[in-house]
Structure 1
Amino acid sequence: MSETDGLPQPLAEIVEDFHAVGDQEKLELLLELSRELPELPEHLRENYADSMEQVVECQSPLFLTIEFHDDDVPGEGTAELIFSAPAEAPTTRGFASILQQGLSGLRYQEILAVPDDVHQRLGLGKAITPLRLRGMSAMLARVKRNVRDHVESSS
């Protein structure tokens, strides 16, 4: 089985990038991705802690919201992932950026089909503590739960 099996193309490309470099470079790539996490949209900046969901499983403060763009067919559409994490938490920001770049804009069913072991497929096991890797797993689980809840409520 390949590390990219079952992954949507944008996320598969990120996983391939991690596998193309050595362990030390993986950390550098994660830090680079942390700097690419988009700023919050204007409408969320002021009270983001009240309007976004905190992913408490993460060691650093991480907030998430999803903006759903429904199609005319009930339960179908695309999801835009929005994360907020402090600059002093580059690992958390890097993981959020991976999910934002790899999943944002995808169809609901594509997100729900993403394998739960994405955090392991990145090959960061030697560079990042298991607790931090579980934080990324929790981010993905929260995204999928929110998408699933939205699909069920709109069908």
Structure 2
Amino acid sequence: MTEPLPDALEQIKTDFRELGLKDRLQLLLEFSNELPELPAHYLEHPDLLERVEECQSPVFIFVEVDDSDVVHLFATAPKESPTTRGFASILVQGLAGLTVAEVLAVPDDYPSDLGLTEAVSPLRIRGMTALLGRTKRQVREKIAA
């Protein structure tokens, strides 16, 4: 039996699934516009961010795990790449406030469950899957350190 999705990720999935294809793309664009800006310390040190090579557009992420085992994901993607920005924003918002265990329990195929496979290229879905995979890898590295 698989673990239930955390509430925010479940709600995002439901929001996408309840829409028609065209409206799903519009929702992805809305997420793109909601990607939080990077904190100043990452703007000043872009070397701390990891490039997600699988994404067609330049996407960079960094994960922090605080003393309460809560994961914080930071991401940046160009405004001219709304699909990629949207995917990054979904993860930043969907993982916000989750514990290490909750993040690691998110199914690796979550991006495919959003109902966007008919709307965007498989390469883009692979990019979002890679974003999630790299996030989990960084979380594992942080807790092992």
Give the structure-1-normalised TM-score.
0.89
Structure 1 or 2, whichever has the larger Rg, is 1
One-letter amino acid matched to 1:15: K
Deviations 1:31-79 (A, max 9, x none): 000000001111111332x1211111110000000122023xxxxx101
Partner residue, 1:118: 110
- Identity, % of aligned pairs? 53
Q: How many residue pairs are counted as aligned between the two chains? A: 145
What SS class does the counterpart of residue 65 from structure 1 fall into?
A: strand
Structure 2 CA distance, aligned partners of 1:91 and 1:47?
Answer: 25
Gaps of at least 5 residues in structure 2 are none
Gaps of at least 5 residues in structure 1 are 72-76
Alignment of 1:66 onto 2:58: no
Instruction: Tell me which stretches of 4 or more aligned residues in structure 1 moved more than 3 Å.
Output: none
Give the structure-2-normalised TM-score.
0.95
Alignment of 1:140 onto 2:118: no
Alignment of 1:51 onto 2:43: no
One-letter amino acid matched to 1:54: R
Task: Check conservation: 1:6, 1:115, Cα contact below 8 A.
Answer: no
Structure 1 CA distance, aligned partners of 2:103 and 2:91?
Answer: 10
One-letter amino acid matched to 1:41: P
Task: Check conservation: 2:64, 2:72, Cα contact below 8 A.
Answer: yes
Partner residue, 2:89: 97
